Each structure stands twice: as structure tokens, then as C-alpha cells.
């Protein structure tokens, strides 16, 4: 990949839209701007970061290709650190392609995937954490994930890592002072374990604690609804999503496939799956549906076991509870609008740790609490209070863990009274 040529890409997603953006970056940008653009006002001086109104004109035919707003962002104050030209044209794919081809004819090369970010990184405009944050932000599925990647993009993670580095360099200075002063000079008063090392270890640990939550912020929480036929699973999915996604029917065994729908609770997305009712299958189709349920349950972050409190508990209920006893379970006691035939304390085999809540899928009672409970079961309060500074990237997590191990080793060797060289290494 060369870095001295001028690249071009259509920056907006493919398909038709009101506005499309074409982006050019490289040393030829300013010259190309002059060749392709005819301003409405006769004379313009291409001030940096200023929008100009005019036409894109084909050099070969003199034909007007589109009426646009154009801006030139001169280096180094641009995203890539090079001269960048941005053309806001109309979002018709044919128009965008024509302008794109015109730019190729003027000497641009189509950008490779991620090449604008790569240039921004190589020119020192963004650090690696910020480049990764950009990708994460574009892919983010929840408000929380967006907020976290924005923090990272603004350099919050990079600054925290820089601070950790300062702490470790300071700690090292303390430890090495112990090596250098031992012989003839009286060593300065040095605490056994430099406080910087303890502080760095603590801050690093807090960062690492955010990783499990970050996974949920990025991918969403997978919650699977299970229960025997007619417990109200489809009604629950419909009420939680506010849409009629699943068929509600008194005939047991209606849902054969599984249906997934997404909801958002306090900025976290929950992927809810309604599954086939679990019972002795009556035919091959139902059997396949029930086999799928077990697969879904194995991948769930939270299993919502729905029980019908208006009817006595059965062996089917017990089997479902038994098979999910190692999962993160919420027992939702449904049809609480009807007289109940048993009490929440009387559910046999339900693990102590399971969440319990009375709801009515049909009338909506308890559903807000249920949504909150789903998030609370997976994301701890500590993880929620991270001010957006979270570690969401596996590479970052591994690097922090490695650092944490080295700090641990250094503390250990000081603790054991080994000579300071060991901790320094
Ligand atoms: P599924 O087989 O588990 O998906 O159950 P459905 O959602 O199809 O519901 C079975 C029946 O129970 C339907 O007639 C629903 O209207 C009824 N039902 C579901 N939830 C409630 C509830 O909270 N209260 C009452 N009274 N009926 C409910």
C-alpha cells in the first residue's frame, strides 16, 4: 500500500440517500478540487474547513455532474493528517459513481478498506486505541457501546494507559534507586513496595473489571425465554417488545421455530428469544423445535423460565428448572393477574441464586422490573459505574492482564525480600 498517492472513497453507505459523501485524501486533493469544482461565486480562495457551494463538472465533457457542497481540509488539521477533500453530493448511487469515476480520471486511486483510518494512524492523528474505537463505534449496537467508544476515541483510554505508564516508570525509579545506593552511600528512605506500584495495580484492576460488561454493551445480552407450552412465552415476547412478533394461542405447541427480537433497557440492548414450549414432542417438527431450544439455552446469558401460576406445577416445569440449574436463571411467575395455585416459595429445585419475579405477560404487570432484572443479573453495579471508560477489546484486555501479572511478580519479589534487581526486571 502506498501512502503518497491520493485516495478516494464513497464515505456514505451504499444505496440511495438524501446526501452522499465522497472523500479524497492525499497531496493532490487541493489541485483536484480546483479541477473538478466550479463555484457559484466566481472566485474562491479555498479556505481550509470552509463549505463552498457549486457544481461538479466533468473535465472531458464540460457537463455538470451534480450541484454540491464541497470543503477542503488542509493538512495537518484533517482526519488523515493529509489534505482532505469532502464532496457532499446528492445520494443517488449513479451520481456518486459518476463523480467517483471523474476523480479516478483525475488521478485518484480507490481507497483500500480502512485506508483513511490507517493514514490517520500513520500520520499520528489518532493512536491505535482511537483507531480501534472508530471501528467499534461504527459497529456499536447500544447507546452504552457508543458512549464507550466515543470516550476511547476522545483518547480517554489512551490517557489512562499513559498515566499507568508514568506510575510504573516512577515505581521503577524507586526500585532502581535501591540498587544503585546500596554500597557506600546510605540509601534514601524507600518504602518496601513503591506506592505507585500499588496504585497502578488498583487502577489496572478497575479497568479489567469493565471487560465483562463491555461484552454486553457491544453484543447485547442474550436472554432466552423458556417454559412449557401455554406458559405465556409468546405473550411475554410480544409485550416486552411492544410488537406482535410471536403467535399467541391456546393450542399448545404453536411456536416451533424460535423468534428473536431486540429491546433496549437503559442503553443496553437485550436480544430476546422466544422458543418452542418444552414438552414430550407430538411430531417430528415439534421435536426439532425443542432440540433447537436446548441449543439456544446453552448460549444464553440469562434464561427466563416462565411458569404459569394459575395452574399447578408439573413434571415439565421441574425438568426445565433441573436442566437450567447451572445457568443464570430468572424465574418469571406468569399470569399473576389470575388466582394462583401455588406460591413463589414452593418452586421445587429452583437454585437459591435464581432471580424471581411475578409478572403478567398479558396485562404488562412487572415487565419493567423484569427488564431491569435481566440487565442487573448480567451487569453488576460496579461495572455500570465506569464513567464510560471501559475495556471492550480483547487485545487491550490481554495486554492489561499481562501488565497486571508483571506488577504482581514485582510485588511478590519485594515481599519475599529478594534483592531489588528482581522487581526492577
Ligand atoms: P406460549 O405457548 O408459552 O407461547 O404461550 P402464549 O403466549 O401463546 O399464551 C398461551 C395462553 O395464555 C394465551 O391464551 C394467552 O392469552 C394466555 N396468557 C399469556 N400470558 C397471560 C397472563 O399473564 N395472564 C393471563 N390471564 N393469560 C395469559
Check pocket membership of 384 for ligand 1, CB cut-off 6 A.
Answer: no
Looking at residue 1, its pLDDT comes to 47
Q: What is the pLDDT of residues 139-187, one digit of tens each?
A: 777 777 788 788 888 888 888 999 999 999 999 998 888 776 656 666 5
Give the residue among 317, 222, 231, 230 at the shortest CA–CA distance from 273. Answer: 222
Q: Find out whether 110 and 10 touch, Cβ atoms under 8 Å.
A: no
CA of 231 to the centre of ligand 1 (A): 6
Query: 193, 407 in Cβ contact below 8 A?
Result: no
Q: Grid coordinates representing 102?
A: 471523474
Grid cell digits, residue 110 = 480507490
| Residue 233 CB–ligand 1 contact under 6 Å | yes
* Cα 5 to ligand 1 centre (Å): 64
% of the chain with per-residue pLDDT over 70: 91
DSSP string, 311-327: S---HHHHHHHHHTTTS
Helix or strand (DSSP H, E) at 226: strand 221-227
Q: What is the pLDDT of residues 9-30, one digit of tens each?
A: 999 988 888 999 999 999 999 9
The three three-digit cell numbers of residue 277, written as one number: 414450549
What's the pTM?
0.65
Q: Could you tell me if 19 and 89 are in contact, meaning their C-beta atoms sit under 8 angstroms apart?
A: yes
pLDDT digits (tens, 9 = 90+) for 137-151: 887 777 777 887 888
pLDDT of residue 82: 96
Cell of 328: 443464570
Q: Cis omega before residue 49 (within 30°)?
A: no
- How many C-beta neighbours within 10 Å does residue 65 have? 18
Q: What is the DSSP letter of 353?
A: T
- Determine if ligand 1 sits within 6 Å of the CB of residue 230: yes
Stretch 46-73: mean pLDDT: 96
- CB of residue 339 inside a 6 A radius of ligand 1: no
The CA R_g of the chain, rounded to the nearest whole Å, is 30
User: What's the angle, vertex CA 307, arms to CA 303 and CA 308, rounded to 5?
Assistant: 155
Amino acid at each position: 500500500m502506498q501512502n503518497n498517492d491520493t485516495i478516494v472513497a464513497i464515505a456514505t453507505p451504499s444505496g440511495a440517500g438524501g446526501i452522499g459523501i465522497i472523500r479524497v485524501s492525499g497531496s493532490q486533493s487541493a489541485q483536484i478540487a480546483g479541477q473538478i469544482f466550479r463555484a457559484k461565486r466566481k472566485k474562491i480562495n479555498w479556505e481550509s474547513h470552509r463549505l463552498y457551494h457549486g457544481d461538479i463538472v466533468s473535465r472531458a465533457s464540460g457537463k455538470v455532474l451534480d450541484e454540491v457542497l464541497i470543503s477542503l481540509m488542509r493538512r495537518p488539521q484533517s482526519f488523515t493528517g493529509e489534505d482532505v477533500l469532502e464532496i457532499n453530493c446528492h445520494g443517488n448511487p449513479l451520481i456518486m459513481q459518476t463523480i467517483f469515476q471523474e476523480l479516478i480520471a483525475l488521478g485518484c486511486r480507490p481507497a483500500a478498506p480502512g485506508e483513511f483510518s490507517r493514514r490517520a494512524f500513520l500520520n499520528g492523528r489518532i493512536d491505535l486505541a482511537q483507531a480501534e474505537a472508530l471501528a467499534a463505534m461504527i459497529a456499536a449496537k447500544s447507546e452504552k457501546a457508543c458512549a464507550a467508544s466515543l470516550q476511547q476515541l476522545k483518547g480517554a483510554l489512551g490517557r489512562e494507559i499513559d498515566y499507568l505508564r508514568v506510575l510504573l516508570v516512577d515505581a521503577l525509579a524507586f526500585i532502581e534507586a535501591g540498587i544503585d545506593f546500596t554500597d557506600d552511600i546510605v540509601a534514601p528512605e524507600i518504602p518496601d513496595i513503591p506506592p505507585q506500584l500499588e496504585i497502578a495495580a488498583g487502577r489496572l484492576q478497575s479497568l479489567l473489571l469493565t471487560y465483562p460488561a463491555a461484552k454486553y454493551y457491544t453484543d447485547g445480552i442474550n436472554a432466552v425465554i423458556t417454559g412449557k407450552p401455554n406458559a405465556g412465552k409468546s405473550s411475554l415476547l410480544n409485550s416486552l417488545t411492544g410488537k406482535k412478533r410471536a403467535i399467541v394461542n391456546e393450542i399448545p405447541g404453536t411456536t416451533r421455530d424460535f423468534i428473536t427480537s431486540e429491546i433496549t433497557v437503559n442503553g443496553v440492548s437485550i436480544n430476546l428469544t422466544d422458543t418452542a414450549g418444552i414438552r414430550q414432542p407430538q411430531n417430528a417438527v415439534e421435536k426439532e423445535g425443542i432440540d433447537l431450544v436446548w441449543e439456544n439455552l446453552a448460549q444464553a446469558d440469562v434464561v427466563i423460565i416462565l411458569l404459569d401460576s394459575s395452574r399447578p406445577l408439573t413434571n415439565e416445569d421441574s425438568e426445565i428448572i433441573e436442566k437450567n440449574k447451572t445457568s443464570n436463571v430468572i424465574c418469571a411467575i406468569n399470569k399473576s393477574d389470575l388466582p394462583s395455585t401455588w406460591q413463589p416459595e414452593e418452586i421445587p429445585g429452583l437454585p437459591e441464586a435464581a432471580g424471581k419475579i411475578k409478572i403478567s405477560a398479558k396485562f404488562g404487570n412487572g415487565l419493567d422490573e423484569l427488564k431491569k432484572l435481566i440487565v442487573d443479573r448480567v451487569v453488576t453495579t460496579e461495572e455500570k459505574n465506569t464513567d464510560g471508560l471501559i475495556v471492550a477489546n480483547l487485545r487491550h484486555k490481554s495486554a492489561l492482564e499481562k501488565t497486571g501479572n508483571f506488577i504482581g511478580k514485582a510485588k511478590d519479589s519485594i515481599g519475599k525480600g529478594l534483592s531489588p534487581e528482581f522487581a526492577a526486571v
